[in-house]
Structure 1
Amino acid sequence: MNETYKARIEKAKKEITDAEFILIGGGSGLSAAAGITYSGKRFTDNFSSFIKRYGLSDMYSSGFYPFETQEERWAYWAKHIYVNRFEPGPTKLYKDLYQLVKDKSYFVITTNVESQFEKSGFSANKIFEVQGNYGYLQCAKGCHDRIYYNESLVKEMIKKTVDCKIPFELVPKCPVCGRNMDPNLRINQYFVQDEKWYKQNKLYNEFLKQSEGKRTIYMEMGVGFNTPGIIRYPFEQMTFHNKGAILIRLNKENPKGMKGNEDKTVSFNEDIKEVVSEILK
């Protein structure tokens, strides 16, 4: 461990120990570091038949593939949802992260949609999944504000998939308007924010008020620039305006932050798993 890295680890350890509040912001890089990757061997092992038929290259871009039929579309999405939401258990990285903050007053805001925080011990009341969750379906046109847990349906779809298609009778239809359904993901203007979404949004804002002006750690983990207005930019602004705040940023590609925060930021571009493990020691 080089001295600069060691010094940053020690500073992060001390700040976390001394903090009154810790706000975690989890992005896609965090789940990728935990092993939930959308490309490479994990993709080719799980989607070989879809790759052969449609020329798919990774799970992210495949989510936008224009399947000709709903039977084909849901054969793909059932597998996508299963391998990311239902098949994986709690990962070591998320469990280590929980050990790091469990005795603090913490909250989580995440753009990730695979429930790793809750699986790994974080309280459901302290997690705001702002972009949705793979485990639920919604009306594709958002005709009403209810979402539907999909585990049993997803497993049935996979069981009955033949030649990259599910049976017509398994294609989900909105119980209110009869239209097609979508995964509950923020992919367009029809994203459904149900009662729980608004409850968690309220709890998140209450946490921000409670921690304002206090010794607070904003721990930003694997957050890129797809949706920087949800975590990255707000965390930088809150760090700047809160005298007692420290921003701990774990980001392999974009570790640098806004001007004015240099003395209040501890940045790591090293592997997230390694950094969390070292801080936990």
Structure 2
Amino acid sequence: MSLQRLCDEAARLITDADGLVISAGAGMGVDSGLPDFRGNAGFWRAYPALAGARIAFEEIACPDAFVRTPTLAWGFYGHRLNLYRRTAPHPGFAILQAIGECLPRGAFVFTSNVDGQFQRAGFDEARICEVHGSIHHLQCLDGCDGQITRADGFEPEVDEVACLLHSPLPRCARCQALLRPNVLMFGDWGWLGQRTAAQRQRLEAWLGGTRRAVVIEIGAGLHVPTVRWFSENLGEPLIRINPTEPDIPGRGVSLPLGGLVALQGIQQALAQHAFFDR
């Protein structure tokens, strides 16, 4: 089937829906210029200092790294925090917003990304579920008070060549232990998940009031399959956008394209059906 016909079929599924589930993995940020860390090769290209030390993504993206080498761990996460703060979301986010605004139940986001790009693009905070947490929030490494706080006041100064934090390490106001991102890491038994749990409750309530949802999944790979499992287990028609792992089970459409190109194709198909004139 041609890409035009695939986009037309995706448009038909959206037109028949009353609500849009947006499920997004790391590939969603690629068109904004964000790295997706697909394998050590891609990770080390983004962080040559860690490549020189042969430190894998799983070794730095874990709570133990904050105990062993806190300035290196915060060099990595501080760089990411700064990067996400200054990155403008690509136009595909606006396309998804426009689609949701034309459906009776609107849209709800389910994402494994910790970058806060959906909020930065203007999506309603109450309609986002960040299943792996958010780098824009902090928690005590020791979990002393069980509190999750915003990282707004933390401005990390990072030596990007050495991947080291130069500014003072962030400290817990209660016990002075190190603060860490409220992100679910590898081998992470200390992550505080109550913020994500509350988001998930809101998502389930929204799904409960939606009778004909459609799922648009963007950039969710098999290496960390959380988003793919969620998309496939909803029992709703699925539009999967993935240039390298597009296979789809059950009802739906597979678009073997990057996120922005696919969303622009769907937007054009919807416009031909006068969808945005509702």
Give me the TM-score of the superposition, normalised by structure 1.
0.79
Select 1:232's aligned residue among 215, 228, 239: 228
Equivalent of residue 255 in structure 1, options 246, 261, 265? 246
Task: Select the residue among 250, 260, 273 that pairs with 2:260.
Answer: 273
Report the Cα distance in structure 2 between the residues aligned to 1:6 and 1:97, rounded to whole angstroms.
Answer: 19
Check conservation: 1:27, 1:224, Cα contact below 8 A: yes
Higher mean displacement: 201-210 or 85-94: 85-94
Q: What is the Cα deviation at residue 5 of structure 1? A: 1.4
CA distances 1:157-191 after superposition (whole Å, capped 9, x unpaired): 34x89965445x81122233333221111011111
What are the residue-to-residue correspondences of 1:123-272 with 2, within 5 Å?
123-155=124-156, 157-158=157-158, 165-166=164-165, 170-187=168-185, 188-194=188-194, 196-211=195-210, 214-228=211-225, 230-239=226-235, 245-258=236-249, 261=250, 264-272=251-259
What's the CA shift for 1:109?
Answer: 0.8
**Distance of 1:47 and 1:269 partners within structure 2:** 28
Is 2:47–2:163's contact at 8 Å kept on the other side of the alignment? no
Q: Where do 1:103-114 residues align within 5 Å?
A: 103-104=102-103, 105-114=106-115
| Gap runs ≥5 in structure 1 | 240-244
CA distance in structure 1 between the aligned counterparts of 2:233 and 2:165, rounded to whole angstroms: 47
Q: Is the 8 A contact 1:79 1:154 kept in 2?
A: no
2:85 matches 1:86? yes
Per the alignment, do residues 41 and 256 of structure 1 end up closer, same or farther by CA in structure 2, a change over 3 Å counting? closer
Q: How many residues align?
A: 259
Alignment correspondent of 2:274? none
Q: What's 1:242 paired with?
A: none
Return closer, same or farther for 1:166/1:106 CA change in 2, 3 Å cut-off.
closer
- Give the deviation of 1:21 after TM superposition: 1.2
* 1:71 matched residue in structure 2: 71
Q: Per the alignment, in what secondary structure is the counterpart of residue 209 of structure 2? A: helix
Which shifted more, 24-33 or 34-43? 34-43
Whether the aligned pair in 2 keeps the contact of 1:221 and 1:251 (CA below 8 Å) is yes
The answer to whether the 8 Å contact 1:145/1:193 transfers is no
Whether contact under 8 Å (2:27, 2:219) holds in the other structure is yes
2:7 corresponds to = 9
Q: Which amino acid aligns with 1:103?
A: C
Structure 1 residues 55, 236: CA separation in 2 closer, same or farther (over 3 Å shift)? Answer: closer
Structure 1 residues 225 and 53, CA gap change in structure 2 (3 angstroms): closer
Alignment partners' CA distance in 1, 2:108 and 2:162: 44
User: C-alpha distance in 2, partners of 1:111/1:162?
Assistant: 28
Instruction: Write the distance in 2 (CA, Å) between the matches of 1:199 and 1:161.
Output: 35
- 1-structure distance, mates of 2:200, 2:214: 19
What is the CA–CA distance in structure 1 between the aligned matches of 2:231 and 2:43, rounded to whole Å? Answer: 32
Q: Is the 1:34–1:273 contact (alpha carbons within 8 Å) kept by the matching residues of 2? A: no
- Per the alignment, residue 97 of structure 1 pairs with 96
The 8 Å contact of residues 34 and 94 in structure 1, kept in 2 or not, is answered as: no
The superposition leaves residues 110-165 of structure 1 with CA deviations (integer Å, 9 ceiling, x where unpaired) of 1111111111121111111111111121112333332222243234x34x899654
